[in-house]
Amino acid sequence: MDNKTRMLQTAMKAKAAAAVIARAATTDKNRALLILADALESQAHLLTEANTRDLASAKEQGLPPAMIGRLTLDAKTIRAMSAGLKNVAALPDPVGEISSLSQRPNGLMVGRMRIPLGVIGIIYESRPNVTIDAAALCLKSGNAVILRGGSEAIHSNLALGGLIQNALVECGLPADAVQVIPDTDRAAVFELLQLEDYIDLIIPRGGEELIRAVVGQSKIPIIKHYKGVCHIFVDSEVDQPMAIDICLNAKTQRPEVCNALETLLVHREAASSFLPPLANKMAAAGVTLRGCNLTRQILPMIEEATEEDWHQEYLDLVLSVKVVSGIGEAMEHIEKYGSLHTEAILTESYQNARRFIKEVNSSTVLVNASTRFSDGFELGLGAEIGISTTKLHAFGPMGLEELTTRKFIIYGNGQVRT
Amino acid sequence: MDNKTRMLQTAMKAKAAAAVIARAATTDKNRALLILADALESQAHLLTEANTRDLASAKEQGLPPAMIGRLTLDAKTIRAMSAGLKNVAALPDPVGEISSLSQRPNGLMVGRMRIPLGVIGIIYESRPNVTIDAAALCLKSGNAVILRGGSEAIHSNLALGGLIQNALVECGLPADAVQVIPDTDRAAVFELLQLEDYIDLIIPRGGEELIRAVVGQSKIPIIKHYKGVCHIFVDSEVDQPMAIDICLNAKTQRPEVCNALETLLVHREAASSFLPPLANKMAAAGVTLRGCNLTRQILPMIEEATEEDWHQEYLDLVLSVKVVSGIGEAMEHIEKYGSLHTEAILTESYQNARRFIKEVNSSTVLVNASTRFSDGFELGLGAEIGISTTKLHAFGPMGLEELTTRKFIIYGNGQVRT
């Protein structure tokens, strides 16, 4: 069977399963999640066997150690996936929630009821734990999902997919509600991306190149973020020890993730007292600074930041630093070079905190806290399926609610329109 | 200047204006709406002059009377536009509204603030009043808008656009926040639809052909509905006089609109008593019925409904009728032939009302009321920019809130992530 026919069959099965899973009882969905959580641990040998095959070919192909680390399923990562499933089972079910119910002057009771989106396609890179996380969130929110992970994790993903489908069937839910695509070539993904009559949403997770390729090939709605060029603006009135802690945390706690700090903007009145101690701490943490001319007057040993640096998502222990005349210039810089992801102001000024929160329209805006909090778990969503930096449907970290929509429900007693 | 360059300039001006209008004070936005409301009436002669030119060429081209009716700006339609502006001015401003503000265990205060989408492109057909309605809703919700109406209304739309820009400038707001495109050829629209870096959302309003053309040409997110094949299911336990009133209202009050009834599904136990009096009333209202075989056993004089009829959005005094075995078959028919727009159940059964509301996932689902209530004003949104039958971002009638999104706002006092 050719790619096109197989992907069409996958999508048709997903759509049929979506109609069933949309109406599934919360108890059945939760039971499947808990059975799966147990199965991951009791069948761990199956997973590590499959993972060993992926790791062997990854080493053969000479993949970098960081990528091999992300690919590895060991007792610890399996325990973490199992715990994640139990967390999702414990979250409230968003489906069926009624809001804004009120009476119109003619007696109609009008409200909105939350319903699943339908069929979601998730296209992601090496981490096999995404297979479990994404399946759990889609199942809990009543959606069917088609999962297409990276070719380097194919055996691990198929083994996980098998356990997921067993758990679904054990609870009387359709196995096709979670399908892992066995194809590893890009031609199959392309065919999947054409099926707009069957798939309601595509979420690509991975590098900018992967995401641009998906966007370029599909007419299905896509929720995405290309990159996170996150900024912190250190104001003139600021608690400097707090600011140093926050900047260090934002840059170094996990430099490889999208909510890490990439560009630091410093008020010129704070620069001469703030930058030297910051530079010492950053150097001790292994961070290379690149600065504008004013920064280099204070820190002459650092490299010059070029125009390219201001656009850069380093995902590494590198930080660009710019001295600005005040909050106005800081916000202009963010507007010009930012990626609508996450920005923070560190300030003791009530006026500037209020202005920054109001006028910076990135998906997450913080006062006196680390950019690393831009995350579904940290913000209280209970889970995270991804982060959106496009404004339609969802903006910022996305949890269960963002995998649903709301229909209007109307209770009448004979009303006609006049 | 070629189309591409001109459209790019339009979009760049809109994006610059969007940054200003997003931060505009509610009082300034409302003042502009009220100044415009007055200008429409005091400058009515300008509008009717421009409209006369459109009407003359419409008659020359032999456009049908219904289309000429929709194109006409007279004292009454101008008064209605002016009243509409005053209504929008009186609605609450959605921008800046903070919701879900609560404290995390680490002391972070996390909430969401409503912000505009940015630049919205609206592509529509003959009615010049859409120019005013759409401009008003986009302005109130802090968005810049690019309006491209039908070529047959070009003089009317440009005259309205002039008055809108005057009102903006008088209130210190950027004229480019509302731009009416002077082009009447489709090549210019095509260029506009390519500008995904400048335009955040496209809303096409008009016939299915227009909407499919827009969807086929753009990668910008689009909110749309292709058609409204709306159903009413008349259950076995039903207040029959009420059901007749509702069906008549849904079919005949405005047969040409998308929330009008197109297919009636009748429980077989109600059919023999319900269909004859309904058919009499429908005939008196000029409605032609087309029925399934079971329907024609009760109403032998009517035409047979073909497979094509069940897919049909008549937008006319025609109604297809099918007798079904119960709520299950009714919901299967809706799932197969429906357009996710609006469906109603007429019933005295608590169980069936509950089941229909829960399981039918169209954008508006009603019990014992006319499908004609699927409308932003009727549902209490205060206004309507369009109706979405796609589930991403908005589903159903869209008001001011649907022209905005929400960013995360976080107030900390030094929190770092561990």
Reduce the secondary structure of chain B to three states and give it as a string.
CCHHHHHHHHHHHHHHHHHHHCCCCHHHHHHHHHHHHHHHHHCHHHHHHHHHHHHHHHHHCCCCHHHHHHHCCCHHHHHHHHHHHHHHHHCCCCCCCEEEEEECCCCCEEEEEEEECCEEEEEECCCCHHHHHHHHHHHHCCCEEEEECCHHHHHHHHHHHHHHHHHHHHCCCCHHHEEECCCCCHHHHHHHHCCCCCCCEEEEECCHHHHHHHHHHCCCCECCCCCCCEEEEECCCCCHHHHHHHHHHHHHCCCCCCCCEEEEEEEHHHHHHHHHHHHHHHHHCCCEEEECHHHHHHCCCCEECCHHHHHCCCCCCEEEEEEECCHHHHHHHHHHHCCCCEEEEECCCHHHHHHHHHHCCCCEEEEEECHHHCCCCCCCCCCCCEEECCCCCCCEEECCHHHEEEEEEEEEEEECCC
Q: Provide CB contacts within 8 A for A208, sequence distance 6+.
A: A226, A227
Q: How far is A77 from chain B (nearest CA, A)?
A: 19
pLDDT confidence bin for B414, thresholds 50/70/90 = very high
| A410/B369 Cβ within 8 A | yes
Q: Choose among A245, A407, A415: nearest Cβ to B369.
A: A415
Which of A205-219, B236-250, B389-403 comes out lowest in average pLDDT?
A205-219
A259-271 pLDDT tens trace: 999 999 999 999 9
At A19 the pLDDT is: 95
**Mean pLDDT for the stretch of residues B44-57:** 96
pLDDT confidence bin for B383, thresholds 50/70/90 = confident
The percent of residues in chain B predicted with pLDDT above 90, rounded, is: 91
Q: Does the pLDDT of residue A156 top 90, yes or no?
A: yes
DSSP run (H or E) holding A54? helix A44-60
B335-375 pLDDT tens trace: 999 999 999 999 999 999 999 999 999 999 999 999 999 99
Q: Provide CB contacts within 8 A for A105, sequence distance 6+.
A: none
Q: What is the spatial distance between Cα A354 and Cα A400, in angstroms, rounded to a whole number?
A: 30
pLDDT confidence bin for A206, thresholds 50/70/90 = confident
Residue A399's φ and ψ, nearest 5 degrees, are -115, -150
| A201/B392 Cβ within 8 A | yes
At B367 the pLDDT is: 98
Chain A, nearest residue to B376 by Cα: A408
Distance (Å) of CA B120 to CA A195, B11, B135, B146, B204: 27, 10, 10, 6, 11
**Mean pLDDT for the stretch of residues A199-212:** 91
Q: Does the pLDDT of residue B48 top 90, yes or no?
A: yes
Q: Does the pLDDT of residue B127 top 90, yes or no?
A: no
Q: Cβ contacts (< 8 Å) between B379 and chain A: which residues?
A: 104, 110, 408, 410
Which of A199-208, A299-308, B244-253 comes out lowest in average pLDDT?
A199-208
Q: Choose among B246, B392, B413: nearest Cβ to A392.
A: B392
Q: How far apart are the first and last CA of chain A?
A: 57
Size of interface A-B (CB pairs under 8 A): 201
The ipTM (two decimal places) reads 0.94
| Average model confidence (pLDDT) across chain A | 96
| Tokens matching residue A370 | 């680390």
At A381 the pLDDT is: 92
**Mean pLDDT for the stretch of residues A44-50:** 97
Task: Provide the 8-state DSSP code for A313.
Answer: -
Contact (Cβ atoms closer than 8 angstroms) between residue A131 and residue A157 = yes
Q: Choose among B250, B391, B413: nearest Cβ to A405.
A: B391
pLDDT confidence bin for B315, thresholds 50/70/90 = very high
| A319 three-state secondary structure | strand
Q: Cβ contacts (< 8 Å) between B239 and chain A: which residues?
A: 414
Chain A, nearest residue to B357 by Cα: A409
Strand partners for A195: none
Task: Provide the 8-state DSSP code for A107.
Answer: S
pLDDT confidence bin for A309, thresholds 50/70/90 = very high
Q: Does the pLDDT of residue A164 top 80, yes or no?
A: yes
| Tokens matching residue A71 | 């690919």
At B398 the pLDDT is: 96
At A216 the pLDDT is: 87
Cβ count near B141 (within 10 Å) = 29
Q: Choose among B96, B108, B246: nearest Cβ to A358.
A: B96
At B206 the pLDDT is: 85
DSSP string over A135-198: HHHHHHTT-EEEEE--GGGHHHHHHHHHHHHHHHHHTT--GGGEEE----SHHHHHHHHT-TTT
Q: Does the pLDDT of residue B73 top 80, yes or no?
A: yes
Q: How far is B59 from chain A (nearest CA, A)?
A: 32
| Tokens matching residue B266 | 């009748």
Q: What is the spatial distance between Cα A116 and Cα A101, in angstroms, rounded to a whole number?
A: 19
Q: What is the spatial distance between Cα A242 and Cα B416, in angstroms, rounded to a whole number?
A: 9
At A295 the pLDDT is: 98
At B62 the pLDDT is: 94
A351-396 pLDDT tens trace: 999 999 999 999 999 999 999 999 999 999 988 999 999 999 999 9
Q: Are strands A98-103 and A109-116 parallel, antiparallel or unpaired?
A: antiparallel
Q: How far is A89 from chain B (nearest CA, A)?
A: 21
| B104/A379 Cβ within 8 A | yes
**Mean pLDDT for the stretch of residues A25-29:** 98
Contact (Cβ atoms closer than 8 angstroms) between residue B316 and residue B250 = no
Tell which residue, A326, A288, A294, has the closest CA to residue A309. A288
Which of A150-154, A214-218, A228-232, B70-74 comes out lowest in average pLDDT?
A214-218
B267-310 pLDDT tens trace: 999 999 999 999 999 999 999 999 999 999 999 999 999 999 99
Q: Does the pLDDT of residue B126 top 80, yes or no?
A: no
| B407/A373 Cβ within 8 A | no
> A44-60 and A26-42 are packed helices; what angle lies between their axes, rounded to 10 degrees?
70
At B406 the pLDDT is: 97
- Of residues A233 and B217, which shows the higher confidence score? A233
Q: Cβ contacts (< 8 Å) between B250 and chain A: which residues?
A: 416
Tell which residue, A89, A83, A77, has the closest CA to residue A48. A77
Interface test with A, best of B20, B108, B356, B362 (most A CBs within 10 A): B108
A343-362 pLDDT tens trace: 999 999 999 999 999 999 99
A233-258 pLDDT tens trace: 999 999 999 999 999 999 999 999 99
Q: Choose among B113, B200, B366: nearest Cβ to A412.
A: B366
At A125 the pLDDT is: 86
Distance (Å) of CA A398 to CA A290, A394, B239: 33, 7, 45
Sheet arrangement for strand A364-369: A303-304, A288-291, A318-324, A261-267, A230-234, A342-346, A364-369, B404-415, B109-116, B98-103
Q: What is the spatial distance between Cα A218 and Cα A204, in angstroms, rounded to a whole number?
A: 11
CB-count exposure of residue B206 (10 Å: 0-12, 13-18, 19+)? middle
Q: What is the spatial distance between Cα B317 and Cα B288, in angstroms, rounded to a whole number?
A: 6
Q: Cβ contacts (< 8 Å) between B200 and chain A: which residues?
A: 391-392
Q: Provide CB contacts within 8 A for B341, sequence distance 6+.
A: B225, B227, B228, B229, B230, B258, B259, B362, B363, B364, B374, B387, B389
Q: What is the spatial distance between Cα B46 and Cα B158, in angstroms, rounded to a whole number?
A: 11
Distance of alpha carbon A285 from the chain centroid: 27
Chain A, nearest residue to B379 by Cα: A110
Q: Choose among B249, B379, B416: nearest Cβ to A245.
A: B416
| A201/B367 Cβ within 8 A | no
Residue A363's φ and ψ, nearest 5 degrees, are -70, -30
Strand partners for B110: B102, B410
The percent of residues in chain A predicted with pLDDT above 90, rounded, is: 91
Q: Does the pLDDT of residue A136 top 90, yes or no?
A: yes
Q: Are strands B364-369 and A404-415 parallel, antiparallel or unpaired?
A: parallel
| B215/A412 Cβ within 8 A | no
| Tokens matching residue A28 | 């059945």
At A140 the pLDDT is: 98
| Average model confidence (pLDDT) across chain B | 96
At A322 the pLDDT is: 98
Distance of alpha carbon B51 from the chain centroid: 24
pLDDT confidence bin for B226, thresholds 50/70/90 = confident
At A1 the pLDDT is: 84
